[in-house]
Amino acid sequence: MATSRSEPRARPFRRVLVANRGEIAVRVIRAARELGIKTVAVYSELDRNALHVRLADEAYALGGSTAAESYLNTEAILNAIDQSGADGVHPGYGFFSENADFARAITAKGVAFIGPPPAAIDEMGDKVSSRKAALRGGAPIVPGTTEFVTSADEIRAFGAEHGYPLAIKAAFGGGGRGMKVVRSAEEVQEAMDSAQRESKAFFGRDEIYIERYLTWPRHVEVQIVGDQHGNVVWVSTRDCSAQRRHQKLIEEAPSYGMAPGIEEAMGEAAIKAAKAVGYFNAGTVEFIYQDGEFFFLEMNTRLQVEHPVTEAITGLDLVRAQLHVAATGTLPFTQLEVQRHGHAIEARLYAEDAARGFLPQAGTASRVRWPHGPFVRVDRGIEAGDEVTVHYDPMLAKVVAFGPTREAALARLIGALDAVRVHGVVTNLPFLRALARAPEVARAA
């Protein structure tokens, strides 16, 4: 599919607005400041004194408390762009990061959207269209439909032909929302209705599709970066198989235990899928791997939460790469310049109570202590004294450990998690400590 490409900028950014909050806003602000770029934060009423606001050079109120009233308020963000004079907008992840209309609204003002072209967001944001694009690029896809499914009879017919279990999936969205697994024809109608209700509630759309459900796959993704001249490189694989209800818990790079040549084949397939939609800037192509085979799953047209593990093993700064591509239209490195060393593992720290069904928690982080050391990195959105609310994503920080081997990285992650202290807010820290010590994680089962 041919896509229009925005004109590369003739000069670096002067001022970048970060249309997000929490640890990802902090991450982008720090990368921009290292490059001498002024930063602009936006905030809701509840985030008036948040860490990302304190770190930015200037900040603008969006009003409201909920995400819909603030960080998803396009008009308020556009007003902040006008007031600040920002010449670039970084969306982070979540919120507007994969919203093509938001990207178009930014570029219509003559401001750079530090992300992919809207046409690529459109095509890859719809999972059915992305499956078609993957096929067009020559990437293998999980057997399933390449059109929206509109009736239970269609699903039963597919099940009769291909067998069960099947996955009914929301065509728009991700994170396991709107996904239901059916193991027999009798379960189809209820599962379809539930998937559509959940998809409508979370993404505002209820279109669904179906695909074969692999019972014990590995979830492997490939980090790519492309420029505005059609060049795309793949940086590394990441394994994200440790999940709860399709939400990632522990991620690591590179992926491990795959048959010889599979990682390179995935990288090439990711490049083909990206080129098929004219993709540029940073993105991730996700695959599932089982029994020596891999299949295209979806593409995330944004920076991923787990990008630090890739940075740890390559020495590359992916946010800097995003800024470079958006400013110049060119890649900051070639495929041959991408070198990987060692292994990195990341755990996500959430304000949620694992003992009570992982319910989101709120409170004041009265005391906070983060681990330190040459092989540990913490991307965090809070410090001591900060308020945590249930109105936004409950992720507080990402704890990353690096080592020459997977075993060394895991040992360092365990030590880093043991050193974390967050008082005043219930977190999933005890769960993460137990998970990191689980025999299944140690043996990569």
> Tokens for 424?
């005043």
According to the model, what pLDDT value does residue 202 have?
Answer: 78
Dihedral of CA atoms 302, 236, 246, 124 in degrees, nearest 10, equals 40
Answer whether residue 442 shows pLDDT above 80: yes
Give Rg (Cα) of the chain.
21
> Model pTM?
0.89
Measured in degrees and rounded to the nearest 5, phi and psi for residue 94 equal 75, -170
The pLDDT score that the predictor gives to residue 5 is: 45
Mean pLDDT calculated for residue range 331-346:
97
Do the Cβ atoms of 278 and 295 come closer than 8 Å? no
b/e sequence 284-307, b meaning 16+ C-beta within 10 Å: bbbbbbeeeebbbbbbbbbbbbbb
Q: How far apart are CA 416 and CA 429, in angstroms?
A: 11
Q: Which amino acid is it at 59?
A: A
pLDDT mean over 309-337 = 97
User: Residue 131, exposed/middle/buried by CB under 10 A (0-12, 13-18, 19+)?
Assistant: buried
Cα-Cα-Cα-Cα dihedral sign, residues 359, 360, 362, 364: positive
Contacts of residue 206, defined as CB under 8 A and 6 or more positions apart, other chains included, come to 170, 196, 197, 199, 200
Q: Kind and range of the H or E element at 295? A: strand 293-300
Under DSSP, the state recorded for 6 is P
Rounded Cα distance between 197 and 176, Å, is: 14
User: What pLDDT is attached to residue 175?
Assistant: 65
CA distances from 232 to 22, 115, 247, 268, 281 (A): 30, 14, 28, 10, 9
Tokens of 45: 């009423």
Tokens of 299: 């593409």
Q: Which of 160, 173, 48, 186 is nearest to 98 (CA)?
A: 173
Task: Evaluate if residue 336 carries a pLDDT over 60.
Answer: yes
> Tokens 């067009």 belong to which residue?
136
For residue 445, name the pLDDT band (cuts at 50, 70, 90): low
pLDDT at 81 over 50: yes
Is 302 an annotated catalytic residue?
Answer: yes
> Choosing from 177, 218, 302, 412, which is the catalytic residue?
302
Q: Cα dist. 294→156, 270, 286, 306, 401 in Å?
A: 25, 12, 10, 21, 27
**pLDDT top residue among 126 and 377:** 377
Residues above pLDDT 90, as percent of the chain: 80
